[in-house]
Amino acid sequence: MKKSKEMTKSICMISLLLVFCLGQIFAAECGDVNANGDIDIVDALMIAQYYVDLNPANFDSTVADVDGNSGIDIVDALLVAQYYVDLIDELTGCSSAMTPAPTPVPVEPEIVFAVNCGGAAYVGSDGTEFEADRGYSGGSAYDNGSSVSGTSDPTLYSTERYGDSEYSVPVPKGEYLVTLYFAENYHTSAGSRIFNVSIEGIQAIGNLDIYAKAGGNTAYVTENSVTVSDGEINIEFSTVTENAMVNAIKITALSFSGEPVADFSISPTYVGPGDTVTVDASASYDPDGTITHYQVNFGDGYSANGIITSHVYNNAGTYTITVTVTDNEGKTDATGKIVVVSEAPSCEETRPPSTPQGSLNQVSRSLWARNVPSEVNMYIYVPGAPSSKPPIVVSCHSCGNSASGQFNNNQKIVAAANKVGFIMIFPDNSQKNCWDVGSNASLTHDGGGDTQAIAQMVQYTLTTYNADPDRVYIMGGSSGAMMTQAMLAVYPEIFKGGSARAGVPAGCWADGYSASNQWCGNCAGGNTIKTAQAWGDQARGMYPGYNGPRPRIQLYHGMVDTTISYKNMGEAIKQWTNVLGLSSSPAYEDTISPPNAGYTYERKFWEDECGFIVFETWSSPGNGHSMSYEENAILAFFGLEEFSCFDPEVTACSP
């Protein structure tokens, strides 16, 4: 739980106002200074402030350290407040017992968390063991390879996590010192990178400009003390200008509150009615004692006791499981997590053993086109026996090709359309040669460009053929691959997935795009280089305000491509890992040789939270720009190699 900045400001203002209104404290009934009917933390702080003002001599560096931890902190304030409450009780005859603050358990300074952000494990010159990056959400890893001065550990500053990110670290309740390591290894002037750092919801560092503080390629270290009351330290890095970043983090324990910390895991988190959920609370702990009791509330009226418990949910819904632990001193802590119980999708339709073929036909523009480029035309392939709610595959041709040429290039996919019953759309821009993926019109949602023309083709097909809006996919090669990535960024609400061969990141073609020859040398040559955050922001900016799910994507590229540089694969990886909220590192990778192909692919795979592959890349050593479509792999990625009523991601992530 993060503290409210507004509440903290309010408390501070009340305390400052009290300096001018000291007499008001005696108007409180039995210590209820803020007259809210209870003696609480606000009263304690107001009383402590009054006592400071009344007895300034008591607050020197030796006397005011009431709890003996070598610092005047909130615990001292609370102890002084309790003393003053007792004094009021003695003078007034009231009985206003205030709940005492937990007595801190002093500990030898102990490092409880240390990570090399964006990098591998590293042992510092002082013996600190920094783990490989973990505990983060958001942002991207980057190896800058720079040499950093002002430190005995330059290696620690050679990697970073950049972009808006947050680290969440489970710790016992207590007092901690957070040490952050920074170095500006990218920008060369002050003002180029500015960001904020918040710890436990309170801004700890505002408008940090590392270059202004230390210069370039020079270590800069900050330390902030923090009180943790919820069993977790949250450290947030938020961008003001360019990208927030951090090189390393170290957290040192100074004292523990002595209270237990509840923690648990749920397995599985996605279940169906009648399935068993197991709750394991063995991760709970007590820093100075023993947990003696575990209570689990399953959120549906049932509860159980024990470290490991199980439960069967009978009805679909979203439930909050709460675990409460009690230690040997009677102190408690509770925390909750969500479990989703949903009905498994069902499918009753069956396909005949053989189905008639359809034919490729042009659709009159009067039926689908509204205020989009006149040279764009629509061709459609409807199998002889489409399914009752057919999926849609859009296939975009390359420069110099046409809808009919692309149809001939996709014969395995056409055969699957006959078998499975999905419909194919073949957009045609042969009058103009290449697709427009560089103009503002095409890179803006409903901007009137080629992208909107294709979106209108999909809408026409959904309406005319009762097609499935949850199973629309897009593919293409070269210019068609560029259009595929652009469509996934400009119209993420339409598509469930896409497959692009030898393309570029969405928006890359806008870097010096020439409408007259439809070319962009910067991007084609692999010279448009951006951070993952910048690529992600560009894609998100094509449909501002969209907060829905993003389509999965499959990329192919020849590693010796001299037409569209293979460097664009690396830039696309940055973009789509950022857009999809994935780690910069894949879940796994392999190398395969397609049957009778004579070449190989080096593949990388990224998975979502439920373990489903949502991003994969296929890089082919020795291959150039003109490569065949891996049609079987594309069909499998879309879930269209066999008949099904549901997208495979929906099926995989449902109970």
| Residues classed as catalytic | 478
Q: What angle do CA 297, 303, 304 make, to 5 degrees?
A: 110
- Spatial neighbors of 342 by CB under 8 A, at least 6 apart, are 270, 272, 316, 654, 655
**Sequential DSSP letters for 184-246:** B-S--STTS-EEEEEETTEEEEEEE-HHHHH-BTBEEEEEEEEEESSSEEEEEEEEEES--EE
CA pair distance 106, 111, nearest whole angstrom: 14
CA dist 594 → 335, 500, 589 (Å): 50, 18, 16
| Buried b or exposed e, range 287-312, using 16+ CB within 10 angstroms | bbeebeebbbbbbbeeeeeebebebe
Is the Cβ–Cβ distance between 133 and 503 less than 8 Å?
no
Is the Cβ–Cβ distance between 643 and 420 less than 8 Å?
yes
Helix residue ranges per DSSP H, 30-172: 41-54, 74-92
Is the Cβ–Cβ distance between 392 and 469 less than 8 Å?
no
Beta bridge partners of 221: 181
CA dist 38 → 31, 32, 44, 548 (Å): 9, 6, 11, 44
CA dist 297 → 307, 311, 323, 341 (Å): 13, 10, 6, 16
CA pair distance 197, 166, nearest whole angstrom: 10
381 residue type, one letter: Y
The H or E element spanning position 403 is helix 403-409
CA pair distance 372, 655, nearest whole angstrom: 43
Q: 3-class DSSP state for residue 21?
A: coil
CA pair distance 351, 648, nearest whole angstrom: 18
Place of tokens 């998975």: 607
Is the Cβ–Cβ distance between 552 and 613 less than 8 Å?
yes
The H or E element spanning position 334 is strand 332-341
Compute the 3-state secondary structure of the chain and give helix, strand, coil in percent, each to the nearest 5. Answer: 25, 30, 45
Phi and psi at 468, nearest 5°, equal -85, 110
Burial class, 79, CB count within 10 angstroms (exposed 0-12 / middle 13-18 / buried 19+)? middle
Phi and psi at 342, nearest 5°, equal -140, 150
Tokens representing residue 648 in the block = 């495979």
